[in-house]
Amino acid sequence: MTPVPARKHAATEDVISRVLRVGVTASLILISAGTLLSFLQGGGYGGEHAEVARLTGARGAFPRNAAWLFGGLLHADGQAVIVLGLILLIATPVVRVAVSAAAFARQRDRAYVAITLVVLALLGVSLVLGKVG
């Protein structure tokens, strides 16, 4: 039994905990399912030696545009399902920050609303930096 200290944002902790747990579990299910699909479909995963070299290749980036992702998901492509799981996993802590920002806003804690919004803004920068870098 964990005693719950009487605090204003007691519920926020439970919401955050649930967001993290559900996000991680759901994304891991997608990543596992996508891997299984990739092997069943054979495409790329079914081959021999040369395939591993290609799949782990240092050269060349993995396709990462939205068109590839949506196209792949429409065909239930294994690798597209994995990427969807990866995106969900990355989004999980971001949602956690957004939930905290909302909680601080409800408590009218201006300093902490500002701090959490700065973190969210930096996360936005990471998306731009990925495109540029």
74 vs 132, beta carbon nearer another protein:
132
Minimum Å distance from CB 108 to another protein? 14
d(CA 19, CA 76): 26
For residue 81, which of 120, 40, 51, 53 has the smallest C-alpha distance?
40
Minimum Å distance from CB 25 to another protein? 9
Which residue, chain included where needed, has tokens 């996508």?
34
Minimum Å distance from CB 67 to another protein? 14
Rounded to 5°, the CA angle 124-127-129 comes to 110
47 vs 71, beta carbon nearer another protein:
47
74 vs 122, beta carbon nearer another protein:
122
